[in-house]
Structure 1
Amino acid sequence: MPRFLRPLTRTVTYTRWLHLLCAGAFAFVCAAVYPGLSQPTLRDWVLVYLVPVPLLALAGLVPLVRRAEGLQARLMLFPGGHARVAGHGAESDVSVAPSTSWRDRGRTSAWLVVRLLLGLTVALLSGQVMALVLDMTAAAAGTATHSASVVTLPGTGWWYGLLIPVTLFVLLYVVVGAGWAMARVAHTLLGPSSAERLAALEERTEQLLERNRIARELHDSIGHALTVAVVQAGAARAAGDPAFTERALDAIEETGRAALEDLERVLVVLREAEQPASRRPTLQEADRLLDSARASGAKVDAEVCGPLETVPGPVSREGYRILQEALTNVLRHSGTVPVRVSLAVGDGRLVLEVRNPLSTGGASGAGGTGSGLRGVRERAALLGGRARTGPVGDEWQVHVELPVG
């Protein structure tokens, strides 16, 4: 199909035409009341344009009018399945929120007036072109008519039939241009206000933070489960003891089941954002991590000081993940070595410390990508705390302090 004909085959051309005609229809309704449409003069046509303007300007001050116009503009100026989903395509630049400021109300009033003026012009032109087409059809058939068209055709002749498609093409391309202009005006006058743009930016930031948190959750949970499984399987093969192998399989099963629960919870969050996810583990369930590490062969000595149940939920949940990452690093990089775990609550803070002998490679955290230890520091910083990781003498230390006040 020739490129110049493509606008005439697009649905958006005709939905925008209808959008403009609806505005013109309102003007005609007002004109039927005053000044009337019986043999209108030039002055009457000027009044047809001007009389509805104060009414629309006042209507634009109503907050919900902005939402109605935004929805209508999305559906008719930018038609398609994407028009019903915010943030996809050009229609996302058209707000569907009620007016929240006088500036928004003023922009809505200006939009209604512009839509009225352009829509009435297109409606009048469409009516005149249709009347002219009827006159041309009659003239091509050799019959003289007197329609509502302001153009008088001189005589009759078959060649008038050749002008009919040209006239319709001109009208359609005028409609294409007017629809394009209305779409640009919609972006300007119905676009999101600064407050709406800030709210959208904050929402986007929250989504990115949530995705980052989910990535850390998966790294900690799945990484811990795989590390325990690998260590247990290797230890069972080396031991050659059926009883030890049985305990190793039990530990792998328990750790894998916990990882699957975490994975399912994360998938629920990703699939249905409005559905509450199951409860995330807290430090009160730290025994599960310690038992898992012990079952892997590590000699874990744990000391708990203070009431863990008084630690606020966010701090306790992040503390659980930090402890999980620290134990995972021990098993991954040092193997089944003695581990000292300390959890202390007091003086308005939670102190979590994990120590283990340095591996032959020089550090518990060496050999990996470093994302786990970086995640520990990020978790602590987001809660207003601090974390230190690295060798201290002949030991590797993960030391984290989190505020609980």
Structure 2
Amino acid sequence: MPGFLRPLTRAVTYTRGLHLLIGSGVAWVLGAIYPGLSSPSYTEGLLVLVDPIPFLMLAGMVPAMRRAEGLQARMMLFPGPHARVEGDGADPGVSVAPSASWRERARTAGWLVLRVEAGCAVILLTGQFMGIVFAAMGAIDQPGDSDGLLLPVVHGWATVPVAVLAVLAQLAMFVVAGHLLSRAARRLLGPSPAERLAALEERTEQLLERNRIARELHDSIGHALTVAVVQAGAARAAADPAFTDRALEAVEETGRAALEDLERVLRVLREDGRPASGRPTLVDAERLLDSARASGAKVEVDVTGPVERVPGPVSREGYRMLQEALTNVLRHSGAVPVRLRIAVDDVRLVMDVRNALPPESSGVTGRGGSGLRGIRERATLLGGRATTGPRDGEWQVHVELPLK
């Protein structure tokens, strides 16, 4: 099909035309009241176009009018499930929020005036095009000076071409007028700077939440899998039934905790309205230490200060940082001595995890993956800092987080 005829196959072309015709209804209703629609003169015809303007300006001052017009514009002026075009579902750029400022009220009033006047113009031109078709085909037997047509009608061999051209002009008018009206809708009913900023903030919050969920899954599932791998390898090497039982018990406990975390995250993603279980905090850190000890690591802990008084967000993120640090110890260094220091005072939380480097390491372990990067990102988001790397023959993860 030729490209210039393709718009005629799209449903949105005709919904735009219907939107224009509906918009002109206010003018014809008011015109029927005054000056009347029975054989009006040209001056009275102009009054039909002028009468609605004061009422439309007042209607535009109503905040809810912007929402009503925005919903209509979205459904009828832009491609959607009803239109056979590519890109369905894209944001049309039309707001559906009530007017929140006088500037938005003025833009809504301008849109109402434009919609009604454009609809009236389309109806008048439609009457002319269809009148030409009917006159050319002999369906109008009135004299030319009283048929209301602005252009003379030709007869004879040119009758059919004139009628075809009039129909094509009518369709082209719908296409062009609908396209121009949709562009005007974006300008007059589009989101204000405040709405754009709010949408950007909401999008940013969504991205941050997705990033947080990804880190949650990485830390929880990664820790469980690391413990399972380490325990399985140690049990196979030990060939001791008692040790194997303890290893399987540790794998079971760690896997159960990971499944609880996974269910909680999936519940948040489903947004099913059920309350999600609380995220673990530093108060629950003992289960991380038990898991690391069961995997063969010799963990020494030094805790100073009231850990239970650490604010919730800091305590929850601190738990995940500690989990990732211990996971890295098991994954890269194995069953080595680990020293953990947690210090809490009035202004900050300090966590320091140190472990011996494996013998084959020469001070560089290559541990620069997403886990350690996640620790640094968590600390930065909380206004703190985190450093990771070899120091004095040991691998260190040092975190400082403000409490206020």
TM-score exceeds 0.5: yes
Q: What displacement does 1:148 show?
A: 5.4
Question: What is the 5 A alignment of 1:255-270?
Answer: 255-270=254-269
Q: Distance in 2 between matches of 1:132 and 1:281?
A: 78
List aligned pairs for 1:4-403, cutoff 5 A: 4-81=4-81, 91-139=91-139, 144-145=141-142, 149-150=148-149, 160-161=159-160, 163-272=162-271, 276-362=275-361, 366-403=365-402
Query: In the alignment, residue 326 of structure 1 is paired with which amino acid?
Result: A
Aligned mates of 2:252, 2:383 — CA distance in 1: 36
- 2:154, 2:322 → 1: CA distance? 95
Instruction: Give the gaps of 5 or more residues in structure 1.
Output: none
Deviation at 1:391, TM superposition (A): 2.7
How many residues are treated as equivalent by the alignment? 399
Give distance in 1, aligned partners of 2:209 and 2:72: 33
Helix, strand or coil: the match of 2:29? helix
C-alpha distance after superposition, 1:82-123 (max 9, x if no partner): 99xxx9755431111111111111111111111111111001
Per-residue CA deviation, residues 237-269 of structure 1 (Å, 9 max, x unaligned), is 100001111111111122122222222322333
Alpha-carbon distance between aligned partners in 2 of 1:50 and 1:275, rounded to the nearest angstrom:
57
Q: Distance in 1 between matches of 2:117 and 2:281?
A: 63
SS at match of 1:92: coil
Contact 2:363 2:393 survives alignment (8 Å): no
Amino acid at match of 1:265: R
Partner Cα distance (2:259, 2:234) in 1: 23
The more displaced of 168-177 and 366-375 is 366-375
Aligned-pair CA distance for 1:163: 3.8
1:208 CA drift (Å): 1.6
Q: Which amino acid aligns with 2:60?
A: G
Distance 1:79 1:314, change over 3 A: same
**Could you tell me the TM-score, scaled by structure 2's length?**
0.91
CA distance in 1: counterparts of 2:153 and 2:355, whole angstroms: 103
Q: Which sits farther off after the overlay, 244-253 or 260-269?
A: 260-269
After superposing the two structures, state which structure 1 stretch, 327-336 or 360-369, moved more.
360-369
Q: 2:348 & 2:9 partners in 1: Cα distance? A: 68
CA contact (8 A) 1:333 1:364 kept: no
What secondary structure, in the 3-state scheme, does the structure 1 residue paired with 2:285 have?
A: helix
Q: Secondary structure at the match of 2:383?
A: coil
TM-score, structure 1 length as denominator? 0.91
**Residue 155 and residue 374 in structure 1: after superposition, are their counterparts in 2 closer, same or farther (change >3 A)?**
closer
Counterpart secondary structure, 1:93: coil
1:68 is displaced (CA, Å) by: 0.8
Q: Secondary structure at the match of 2:326?
A: helix
1:363/1:390 contact within 8 Å kept: no
Aligned partner of residue 281 in structure 1, secondary structure: coil
Change (3 A) 1:169 1:88: closer
Structure 1 residue matching 2:388: 3-state secondary structure: strand
With over 3 angstroms needed to count, the CA separation of the structure-2 counterparts of 1:102 and 1:21, relative to structure 1, is same
Q: Cα distance 1:98–1:15, how it changes in 2: closer, same or farther (>3 A)?
A: same
Counterpart CA distance in 2 for 1:154 and 1:261 is: 81
Do the aligned partners of 2:224 and 2:258 also contact (CA within 8 Å) in 1? yes
CA distance in 1, matches of 2:94, 2:303: 56
Q: 1:155 to 1:262 in 2, by over 3 A?
A: closer
Contact 1:53 1:113 in 2 (8 A): yes
Equivalent position amino acid for 1:376 in 2: I
RMSD over equivalenced CA pairs, Å = 2.5
Mean Cα deviation higher: 116-125 or 254-263? 254-263
- Distance in 1 (CA, whole Å) between partners of 2:17 and 2:32 is 22
Aligned residue identity for 2:317: E
1:268-298 per-position Cα deviation (integer Å, ceiling 9, x unaligned): 3333387653321111111111111111111
In the TM superposition, what is the alpha-carbon distance from 1:13 to its structure 2 partner? Answer: 1.0
Letter in 2 for 1:402: L
Task: Identify if the C-alpha distance between structure 1 residues 254 and 148 changes in structure 2 by more than 3 Å, giving closer, same or farther.
Answer: farther
2:154 and 2:259 map into 1 onto residues whose CA distance is: 86
- Residues in 2 aligned to 1:331 and 1:180: alpha-carbon distance in whole angstroms: 63
CA distance, structure 1, for counterparts of residue 44 and residue 304 of structure 2: 89
Identity fraction in percent: 65
Q: Give the counterpart letter for 1:203 in structure 2.
A: E
| Alignment-mate amino acid for residue 391 of structure 1 | P
Q: CA deviation at 1:333?
A: 1.2
Q: 1:151 to 1:390 in 2, by over 3 A?
A: closer
Partner of 1:96: helix, strand, or coil? coil
Q: Could you tell me how far 1:365 is from its partner in structure 2?
A: 7.7
Per mean C-alpha deviation after superposition, the further-off stretch among 296-305 and 320-329 is: 296-305
